[in-house]
Structure 1
Amino acid sequence: MVSWAVELGEFDIQVRPRPAIKSQALADFIVESTVPATEPTIIEETRGPIEQMTREDMGPDSTEQSDEIQWTLHVDGSAGKTGHGVGVVLHGPDGFTVEYALRLDFTASNNEAEYEALLAGLSLAAELSAGKLKVYSDSQLVANQVNGAYEAKGPRMKRYLQKVKVKLQRMGEVEVLQVPRDMNNRADALSKMASEETHDFGTELTEILSHPSIDEREGLRI
């Protein structure tokens, strides 16, 4: 009532009692206030026209928010004269982040290093039960081969692609996208650090892959 008094106080309005039967007033109230059975009933505090909020103004409920939680994965592989390395950065809900560096203790091409990065990232995401996952790689070849735009040529590329597809089939909703290198900086830096044998990683999770992932004798050591 106070809110309405403030809103209407600036107008010269006179209020006259309406001669009405009590039963008619009750009928009018029921007609105006009844919500159809097919819609959920929402009980709100009575407010003035400025204070009332719709469900859209209040934002989605907690169920809708949880359905939209999405993990992001940045992967990059590096192959050079100093060595070969993999960088993985996984972002989850509530600011959760894991950085993972993997040194390749074998000779690999740049494309093979990129595939090793993707496989390492997918394995990490699967271990952490990541739900919806968007994977970002700056390798045009790997992203397009995984998405079916490019054909894998050569027996090793075909084996890498097949292994990635097997992992994707065991996971939930995963989307692999190509991004420019400047949008993949942290994973790129980790991969380069992993390729340097003398680098001190500090607190980053670091392992050494002694054999290619497509070989049966693959093995990891810290």
Structure 2
Amino acid sequence: MSGRMAKWSVKLSTFDIKYEPRSAIKSQALADFVADFSNDLQDDLDIEAKQLLEDEHLGKWTLFMDGASNQKGIGQGIILKSPQGDILPQAVSCEFSTTNNKVKYEALVMGLQLAKDLQINDLQVFVDSLLLTNHFNGSYVVKAERLTLYLGILKELASNFENLSLTQVPKEEYTEADTLTNLGSSIRIPPK
């Protein structure tokens, strides 16, 4: 490499080229630039931000969620995917004991709350629980009192979306949410 550089140096020396190192831009100079020009560009920035928000909401978002209560612990996995393919993964460790069905309800509540906070209007939810899907869609009657409370919370959250559908799919079709659930159930939070 140094041999090539030496050859080029010799060849270019006949052209009277001088090397000047590039000076670094100080962070204060950038801050001053932003401060000087931000008022003039604010209207354009507001329009651009509005267009980005509208574009974000045009497509269908997808939510994959899972929850598990096992001998390692209790965990939840949530994957929220934007229409453009951006992924927001979350693994959650729960520090309370509960059943598999309840933790799946908890995971769905958390996923819908996340989507609501992001002001998503069109959401397709995929779960592996046939029971949860049929409770939500009204095909099954909810018998357990606690699950009835969870279902009420889910219905209330669902009213925040223009279009929301819940579909049951085999766990093999979305292993990422299952992996996050296992990660969440394995995490141990040390006592303070």
Q: CA deviation at 1:94?
A: 2.0
CA distance in 2, matches of 1:129, 1:176: 18
1:164 pairs, out of 126, 131, 154, with 154
Task: Look at both structures and tell me which one has the larger radius of gyration over its CA atoms.
Answer: 1
In 1: Cα distance, 2:88 partner to 2:63 partner = 10
Cα distance in structure 1, aligned partners of 2:183 and 2:94? 12
Partner of 2:70: 80
Which residue of 57, 82, 89 corresponds with 1:99?
89
Aligned partner of residue 71 in structure 2, secondary structure: coil
Please list, as runs of the form range in 1=range in 2, the aligned pairs for 1:80-159 lying within 5 A after superposition: 80-159=70-149
**In the alignment, is the contact (CA less than 8 A) between 1:76 and 1:114 conserved in 2?**
yes
TM-score by length of 1: 0.58
Aligned equivalents of 2:92 and 2:56: distance in 1? 32
Where does structure 1 lack aligned partners over 5 or more consecutive residues?
A: 1-64, 200-222
Aligned equivalents of 1:180 and 1:159: distance in 2? 26
For 1:23-66, what per-residue CA distance to the aligned partner results, in whole angstroms no more than 9, with x for missing partners? xxxxxxxxxxxxxxxxxxxxxxxxxxxxxxxxxxxxxxxxxx98
Determine the C-alpha separation between the residues in 1 that align with 2:174 and 2:154.
20
Question: Counterpart of 2:186 in 1: which secondary structure?
Answer: coil
Aligned-residue CA RMSD in angstroms?
Answer: 1.8
2:182 alignment partner in structure 1: 192
Check conservation: 2:57, 2:122, Cα contact below 8 A: no
- Whether the aligned pair in 2 keeps the contact of 1:137 and 1:184 (CA below 8 Å) is no
Matches within 5 A, 1:2-17: none
CA distance in 1, matches of 2:153, 2:56: 31
1:94 counterpart SS class: coil
Quick one: percent identity of the two aligned structures? 33
5 Å-filtered alignment, 1:209-220, equals none
CA distance in 2, matches of 1:184, 1:109: 22
| Partner of residue 14, structure 1 | none
Q: Secondary structure at the match of 2:97?
A: coil
One-letter amino acid of the counterpart of residue 134, structure 1: Q
2:65 touches 2:108 (CA, 8 Å); kept in 1? Answer: yes
